[in-house]
Amino acid sequence: MTSFGERLRSRIDSRGPLCVGIDPSTALLRAWGLDDSPGGLEKFARSATEAVAGLAAAVKPQSAFFERFGSRGVAVLEAVVADARAAGALVVMDAKRGDIGSTTAAYAQAYLDPGSPLAADAVTVSPYLGFGSLQPMIDTALAHGAGLFVLARTSNPEAGEVQLATVPGGRTVAAAIMDHVAGLNRGAEPLGSFGVVLGATLDDPGYPVERLGGPILAPGVGAQGATFADAARLFAAARRDVLPSVSRAVLAEGPDPARLRAAVARLNDEARAHLSA
């Protein structure tokens, strides 16, 4: 069993660092000429995945855009996970789950246990019920060679009121979270399986990112205004471990699969130029 960190290092080195978000919003479905319906969702999500998953290191389906259609939407999400894996991309489930006890264990089983049809290579999680609340997720990830991306400093401007609050000793909440993640990765080679979410739109990560030992999922490139050069500057000491996430900058090129593939290739080349050591 290879770890998520090992698989991600291999994909970044061989394919480039780009992570493509699969975000079937109402606006994007309509831009593709599709109904905002389970049928439109399936056409959009599976066509997008088929076009990009053979090129990108990872795809990141945003589960909320599937869940809004109930069981039919979740069935499409299961198909997207299978399609992406068949094309060789890693799957990062963007679910941002966070709870306690048996509920967290159930989320872990849903998203990280290979027996689940929703099982991904990694899942985004929220530590804001206390980092210890993630232990069932951590244990399940370790048992199955999966990974976590823990929300630390996100790209939304209102996050600062929580993430930049201080804990005893003067560290910010975000820095304390990143210390926990660094501890989980200690000694892992070539890359730890426990990553953080740090927005590429930040002025400063507020932490020595070279200590993390795991990947940095960096949303905010493209439609939110950040560039790959911004990500390279912000995370300079760990640039080879950055997984920049783009969604609209790729998906707006659909529904033509050739244009989708061309967008991935162009953005991946740009990302590689800035983020490869």
Active-site residue list: 96
Between the CA of residue 15 and those of 75, 241, 242, 267, 272, what are the distances in Å? Answer: 28, 13, 13, 12, 9
* DSSP annotation of 190: S
Contact of 257 with 50, CB cutoff 8 Å: yes
Backbone angles phi, psi at 241, to 5 degrees: -100, 5
Residue 169: Cβ-neighbour burial (10 angstroms; 0-12, 13-18, 19+): exposed
Residue 247: how many other CB atoms lie within 10 Å: 23
Measured distance CA(79)–CA(75) in Å, rounded = 6
Nearest to 203 by CA among 168, 239, 160: 160
Nearest to 7 by CA among 245, 159, 215: 215
Residue 258: Cβ-neighbour burial (10 angstroms; 0-12, 13-18, 19+): exposed
Contact partners, residue 226, CB within 8 Å, separation at least 6 = 155, 199, 200, 201, 218, 220
Measured distance CA(56)–CA(217) in Å, rounded = 14
Question: Tokens 């790209």 — which residue?
Answer: 155
Contact of 260 with 44, CB cutoff 8 Å: no
